[in-house]
Amino acid sequence: MAVVVSYPQSLKHLNTPFSLVKCKASFSCGFVSFPTTRNQHRKSFIVRSVATPAEAASGFDEMVSGTQRKYYMLGGKGGVGKTSCAASLAVKFANNGHPTLVVSTDPAHSLSDSFAQDLTGGTLVPVEGPYSPLFALEINPEKARDEFRSASQKSGGTGIKDFMDGMGLGVLAEQLGELKLGELLDTPPPGLDEAIAISKVMQFLESQEYNMFTRIVFDTAPTGHTLRLLSLPDFLDASIGKILKLRQKIASATSAIKSVFGQEDNHREDAADKLERLRERMIKVRELFRDTSSTEFVIVTIPTVMAISESSRLCASLKKESVPVQRLIVNQVIPPSASDCKFCAMKRKDQMRSLDMIQTDSELSSLVVIQAPLVDVEIRGVPALQFLGDIVWK
Ligand SMILES: Nc1ncnc2c1ncn2[C@@H]1O[C@H](COP(=O)(O)OP(=O)(O)OP(=O)(O)O)[C@@H](O)[C@H]1O
């Protein structure tokens, strides 16, 4: 069933320069279309969207209800539309009265591109447009990792190892070697950046200044990173725990020569405190991942066999790690009204076969499937994100 959605009114408050133009070319294909005038100013647009029997409401009412803080993590294969869906959800939350923070933990940030605003800098930047406050944060993984590296080195990493060697405390130095911490920090596994980035976000949220947010939306890195990330908090928690224990041993083993450490003691305390705080945050991150009352991981995919297979594996891993997951967005679906165009009709048929896979997939079939149509222009800027959000998050 083809439905015409017309859409100039809802964006009036944004003073968006859309204009009401029928895009004949797009309509003949039946695509969801953002018609433009010649001078590229857009005041409003008519959109032909499509409701198919398989299409389900996303359950946005449930997502938006309540003022307790909730976290939504959007993840999936590279390029499927994670950022667009995350940004559109953040805009929708903000327009529904939630002070919202949208965070990119993907080292290859694209939030700035998606919002068409400069959101770089590693700090909270206000996004212009929505009714309620919306802030964006692009975490700088390099910086976060450097902080972590310097804290752990001071408290038992390679710096202290050299020092221990010099002191003839070889046995303890060997134990340090076993931790392989230097290696971990020099060639960090995928996911470490993200784990540190998320713990960094927790740090922001602990501060009074930023505790107003009731919805936090994460635009996460592609699947591989996410999978590693899930097991990382445990791994890091164990590693940091070992370092701290080792530090205790070092402290007692060197009590006889304490005066030699002299000045360094204060620094070492600082570093240990930092590390302890990081460890606590890691534990919080791990708990957060598994808290069904406050967190949900939304998988984003596209209707191709490869993307759906990968989503199935991601879903299995999330479930194995007890991460709450109940929604699957299938993005870039070609509407049935595109059948006038031979190429589109073929492509849609292919997409429908992939969509069928979801119904029979042991991991994905239990999820709420949300279809998002393929739009004929790039989704950039708050008005476009609001438009996408109104289609996806119903
Ligand atoms: N439904 C859609 N219709 C048309 N274009 C879309 C749609 N969804 C996303 N896009 C476009 O596809 C491109 C990739 O989208 P996006 O950046 O959201 O994907 P991503 O999964 O976050 O990518 P990455 O893995 O590289 O971070 C963008 O140019 C975006 O505008």
Of the two residues 116 and 44, the one the predictor is more confident about is 116
How far apart are alpha carbons 310 and 293 in whole angstroms?
26
- Site of tokens 């695509």: 31
* pLDDT per residue as tens digits for the range 137-187: 987 666 666 665 665 555 444 554 555 455 444 554 554 454 555 555 555
Calculate mean pLDDT across residues 110-137: 91
Atom of ligand 1 nearest to the CA of 80: 21
- What secondary structure letter does DSSP report for 373? E
pLDDT tens-digit map of 188-201: 555 566 666 666 77
Q: Which atom of ligand 1 is nearest to the CA of 78?
A: 25
Closest listed residue to residue 30, CA positions, set 324, 344, 349, 300:
344
For the chain, what is the mean pLDDT?
73
Give the Å distance between the CA of 110 and the centre of ligand 1: 9
Mean pLDDT of the region 2-28: 35
Using a 6 Å cutoff on CB, does residue 185 contact ligand 1? no
Ligand 1 mutation pick, 26, 47, 83, max ligand atoms within 8 A of CB: 83
ipTM above 0.95, yes or no: yes
Judge if the beta carbon of residue 372 lies within 6 A of ligand 1: yes
Return d(Cα 249, Cα 254) in angstroms, integer.
8
Tell me: pLDDT of 50 over 50: no
Verify whether ligand 1 is closer than 6 Å to residue 332 (CB atom). yes
Distance 333 CA to ligand 1 centre (A): 13
User: Residue 318: pLDDT band by 50, 70, 90 thresholds?
Assistant: confident
Number of the ligand 1 atom closest to the C-alpha atom of 388: 1
pLDDT 10s digits, 235-287: 666 666 666 666 666 666 555 555 554 545 555 555 566 667 766 776 777 77
Measured from the Cα of 32, ligand 1's closest atom is 3
Residue 223 CB–ligand 1 contact under 6 Å: no
Regarding the beta carbon of 375 and ligand 1, being less than 6 Å apart is answered yes
Q: What angle do CA 202, 206, 207 make, to 5 degrees?
A: 125
User: Does any ligand 1 atom lie closer than 6 A to the CB of residue 66?
Assistant: no
Question: How much is the average pLDDT of 24-45?
Answer: 42
C-alpha 116 – ligand 1 centre gap (Å): 13
Find out whether the beta carbon of 385 lies less than 6 Å from any atom of ligand 1: no
C-alpha angle 132-136-141 in degrees, rounded to nearest 5: 160
pLDDT tens-digit map of 288-300? 778 888 889 999 9
User: For residues 102 and 340, is the Cβ–Cβ distance under 8 A?
Assistant: no
- The residue whose CA is least distant from atom 26 of ligand 1 is 79
Backbone angles phi, psi at 96, to 5 degrees: -105, 20
